Each structure stands twice: as C-alpha cells, then as structure tokens.
Structure 1
Amino acid sequence: MDLKQLRSFVHVAELGSFAKAAELLDVAQPTLSRQVRALELELKASLFHRNGRGVLLTVLGARFLEQAHGVLHAAEASLQVLQVDERRLTGRVVCGMTPSVSHGMALEYARRFRKRLPDATLSVSSHMSTALHDQIRASRLDFAIVHDATPSSTVEVSHLGKQSLFVVGTRPLGPDRKTVAMSALAKVPLVMPSESYAIRKTLEHAAARAGISLDIRFEVDVMDAFFALVAEGFGHTISTQIATRAMPAGKGLHVQKIVAPALSSRVSLVTSTQRVMTPLQEQAAELAKTTFRDVFRLDRR
C-alpha cells in the first residue's frame, strides 16, 4: 500500500461517497475506485459496503480508518520537519473563507502572511460554510473561517465573534430607519441565498418560532449579484454584519438591524480533529484569527 491509497480511502470514508471524494481530490472517480480497490486487495479485506446512496464502512474498514489517520498524520509531520529550518517556516497553507469574510479580509491577511511567513505559500479558497466544512473533513483545507459552526468529533471550533443580522433594501421597513422587528418581514419579497447557507437556516428557524411566513422570491448564491438584485428592487434581503461591508456604494440601500428578537450569527475558525497541525499551519491559523478580529471587530461574547 502507499500514502495515495490511504488518502483516497480516508476521503471516501469521511465523505461517504466516491463521487464527492473524487470531486474534492480533483481526480476521476474510476481512478479513485481503483486506488481503494487496490488497497482492499492488499489488505485482503472489504473496507466498504457499497449501495446506491454511497458507501458505508465495514467493521474492518472502521478499524482501519483509525490506523490510516495515524499513518497519514505521522507522514505529514515527518515531511514538515524536513521542510522547517531553524529560522523560517516553509511550505503551503490552504485556508478557506466564506465569500463575505474573504471579501473583507483576504487582502489584509495576504499582506500579513507575506510579512510573517515570507518563505511559505498561501492558497485561499472561498466557498459557503457547508462546502468548507466538507473540505475540512476531507483534509483539503488546513483551516477555515465559517458561520455557525458546531463542534463535533471531527471538527474543532474556535469562536471569533458574533455578528448581528440586518435587513437590506431600497426602502426601510417600518417607521424606524435603524431597526426593524422580525414581524415586519412577513410577506415581504425576499432575495436570499440557497437553503444550504447558514444565514438562510437562521432566518427560517427564527421565522418558524415567530409564526411568520417568508416570501422568498429569488435565490442567489453569488454575493455581488445578490446586492445587485436588491438594488434593482427585486426585494429585500437579510445580510450579516460582515456582508454589509461588501454592499456597492451609491445604490441607495437601507440597512436596518433586526430586533424583537435580535438575530445573530457566530463566526468561527474550524480545523479537523483528525490531523495534527504543523508549526506553519498553527502560525497561519493564529494569524488568521488576529487578522479577522482586527478587520471586523465583532462582539466576542
């Protein structure tokens, strides 16, 4: 067996799908299947139960997954020792940020990264929180900054701050131009991201608790197009405190903080519990935390 086979097995096991693992690894699915099959032949054991919905680990597969993690962690740590000299850290850091976070801090983070870690390489991936979680579990990212993360056996969460949610539109809702009650959203045409976005889930749960029916007219997952539709009068939207910083200037958009009840979203840095952070990754993650807090200055309670 080799490390490539082990990595392929781990990704398939954690995502429960050859198709998802192949997409994250950027390899053809038949190639991934051959690597896992070669590993099974080497071990003389079946590692997965295959069905129409994906794959499940066999009993032996679940036992072997623990050992595979240990081997990969040891290999990664050994390589990092060879790449780090007494003075400077070298290597590649791959981090993830949601679109609104990357819009506000990616440039400043790159500046600080270059100054602090001049011999290292940085790659920033911008996706919605659910996609970033999948990439963390598949070990495609060293760390990610996401919304409303939940700690688990596979993900470690470091809280960065809490941000309020706002209504954004071409005109204010209700008599107060600065705040708006949740009840004012009833039957208001809304432009929202798809259901997989954390903010959409937060809003729908709050609406259900308040007994409010939401009128979602348009679903858009591209942030620039998102505010453009609102500016054109397609409807109001719900935005995080961070995302409001990316609104286009001169469009005459009104921003009102949601109150009664107040809605908020937590922002966190997440890492995988299934891998050991190298010194380079640890420094890059700490630098990301500091940069985020300096740039956005959210409530840290």
Structure 2
Amino acid sequence: MDIRQLKTFIAIAEQGTFAKAADAVGLTPSAVSQQVQALESEVRAELFNRTTRPITLNSHGLQMLEAARGLVRSADDVVDAISGRAIGGTLTIGSVRSSALSLLPRAIVALKADYPELKIKLHVANTDELVNDVASGRLDSAMVVEYMGIPRTLTWRPFLNEPLYVIAPPGTPKMPAADMLSRLPYVRFVSRYRLAHIIEMELARSGIITNVIAEIDTIAAVVGCVVHGLGVSVAPWNAVKEAPGEVVSVPFGNPQIHRHVGLLQRQTSPRTTVIDRLHHHLASFSGEFGIPG
C-alpha cells in the first residue's frame, strides 16, 4: 500500500461515495476504484459494506481507517521535518478533566501563533483512555497528572509542580489548615482521579477528621460551593487562582502537598518538535510553578 491509496481510502470514508472522494483527491472514479481494489487485495479483506447506499465501512474498514489516518499524519510530519516546509497537518491533544485544563487554551493559542498552518484538536477523557490513545497513535500527546502505569513506549514530562491549598469562604479568619479542616464544614472532592486520593491520603496521615457537608465530583463545583459559603475544601493552585480574592487560602500539608502535571507522548513521535513547543508554553503559563522542558 502507499500513502496515495490511504488518502483515497480516508476520502471515501469521509465523503461517503467514490465519486465525491474522487473530486476530493483529484482522481477519476475509476482510478479511485482501482486504488481501493489494490488496497483490499493487499490487506486480503473487503473494507466496505457495498450492499448499503451510501456505502459504509465494515469492521475491517473501521480498523483500517484508524490506522490509515495515523500513517498519513506520520508521513506528512516526516515530510515537513525533512523538507523544512511549514509545519501543518493536525495535532491531536488529549487532556484529563483537571483544573490544569485551563492552561491549555492559552498554550494552544500560543502554539498556533508559532505554527499558523497547524490544526489542533482537543479531546477530554480519563487517564486510562488517554494513555491508550497516545500509545496507539490516536492522540499525539495528552496532558495527564503523574501516573504510575505509563507503558515503556511512552514518555511523560512534567510542566507543572502544582501546590494544593485549603480554601475557605470569603471573610473566614485566617487559621492553620488543620483547624480550618476540622472546625468548619467540609466540602469533599469525590472522584476516582488521583487528586482525590492525594487529598484523602494527606488527611489520613495528618489525623484530621472532617465534618463532611457535601460530596462533589468536580473541582470547579467544589470551589463554587466554597465561594458561596457552604464550607471549606482542598483545591489545586489552578482552581484557586480562578477565584482570586473570593476565597481564603492556606497551604495544604506540612510540607505543602504538590502534584505534577505533564505531557505524555510516544518515544518515537514525529511530532516531538511541536509537542516540545507546547510543553514550553504550558510551563511558561504555569508561572513560578512551571517546570521547563
């Protein structure tokens, strides 16, 4: 198979008919049919349900489409690197549902200024899904919190050493973190993500018994509850800075607890140059807590 066949195959999947695909890739319908026949002959399987109108991909075709998009993107990236032409194509980025997600829009805008011809797609999912998608090539990179189960084929580089804070409603008298957490109603962050585990582990280590008034599954909602006076809680720096002056905050833990957020990528990624630049912008927008590449 060659890249032209794969581009034609992708066009058929996206356009829905051989005729529309032919217009999209600048070939005749007969040439498109010949390329499809050659591709199916090489993989020794039919890729389309030809009994439907319009035609649709069968299970083999769906599997081939995923691989074809990755191969075409990688080939274009290599040509960009070797030829020195402007970096283009599409960069696919994943992210966990983290308060650090607020850094990505600024970093993406800065990256677009570096590479005007680059298209960027953002996908938000849980850590396990993101790790699998980066490993398989469906994503070029993903922003994830420090993670113990990273495969050997991937690398993870932190860009943020993010501190955690105890936060209290406006007007709350300043007091030690342990006093805030034990004396005042507590808004508990409940999630299977690592941040919730970090918070619970430190509370247990410190022997702090909280008076839980609510259990919330997103940090944004937790902060909102605190801002409106429901109780105190624990939140990372990115979430706290989104509510400047609206909450009273003191460091969580002694010494203060931090978590690392970083970028995940394949060790042999052809998009390394662009991902390095994205890492640079994320570290820069992380201010004093940024970790340079």
Partners of 1:155 and 1:180 in 2: CA distance: 38
Q: Deviations over 1:66-98 (max 9, x none)?
A: xxx9x9976653343456643211210011334
1:277 matched to 2:274: no
SS of structure 2 residue aligned to 1:125: strand
What is the aligned counterpart of 2:75 among 74, 78, 103? 78
Partners of 1:206 and 1:128 in 2: CA distance: 23
Deviates more, 1:196-205 or 1:254-263: 254-263
Identity over aligned pairs, percent: 16
SS of structure 2 residue aligned to 1:242: helix
What is the aligned counterpart of 2:257 among 263, 273, 278? 263
Q: Deviations over 1:147-180 (max 9, x none)?
A: 223344243111223121101121577753xx52
- Per the alignment, do residues 81 and 266 of structure 1 end up closer, same or farther by CA in structure 2, a change over 3 Å counting? closer
- Is this contact kept in 1: 2:165–2:251, CA < 8 A? yes
Structure ranking higher on relative contact order (CA contacts 8 Å, 6+ apart)? 1
SS of structure 1 residue aligned to 2:137: coil
Matches within 5 A, 1:159-170: 159-170=158-169
- Is this contact kept in 2: 1:161–1:268, CA < 8 A? yes
* Paired amino acid for 1:259: G
Match of 2:120 in 1: 122
Match of 1:195 in 2: 191
Partners of 2:61 and 2:120 in 1: CA distance: 30
Q: CA deviation at 1:202?
A: 0.4
Q: CA deviation at 1:227?
A: 2.1
- Is this contact kept in 1: 2:94–2:141, CA < 8 A? yes
Aligned residues: 235
* Paired amino acid for 2:195: I
Unaligned runs of 5+ in 2: 10-55
- Per the alignment, do residues 169 and 158 of structure 1 end up closer, same or farther by CA in structure 2, a change over 3 Å counting? same
Match of 2:139 in 1: 141
- Per the alignment, do residues 196 and 112 of structure 1 end up closer, same or farther by CA in structure 2, a change over 3 Å counting? same
Q: Deviations over 1:206-237 (max 9, x none)?
A: 223233344542213262x3322222222222
- Is this contact kept in 2: 1:102–1:126, CA < 8 A? no
Partners of 1:32 and 1:155 in 2: CA distance: 31
> TM-score normalized by structure 1?
0.63
List 4+ stretches of structure 1 deviating above 6 A.
Answer: 1-4, 36-39, 71-75
**Higher Cα radius of gyration:** 2
- Please report the RMSD computed on the Cα atoms of aligned residues, expressed in angstroms: 3.8
Partners of 2:143 and 2:203 in 1: CA distance: 26
Q: Deviations over 1:97-156 (max 9, x none)?
A: 34422323413x233222211111012234555554354345332112222233442431
- Per the alignment, do residues 37 and 159 of structure 1 end up closer, same or farther by CA in structure 2, a change over 3 Å counting? closer
Match of 1:227 in 2: 223
Deviates more, 1:234-243 or 1:123-132: 123-132
Q: Deviations over 1:245-284 (max 9, x none)?
A: 222x56x3111112324211112111135xx311xx2222
SS of structure 2 residue aligned to 1:259: coil
- Is this contact kept in 2: 1:130–1:197, CA < 8 A? no
- Is this contact kept in 1: 2:172–2:248, CA < 8 A? no
- Per the alignment, do residues 119 and 36 of structure 1 end up closer, same or farther by CA in structure 2, a change over 3 Å counting? closer
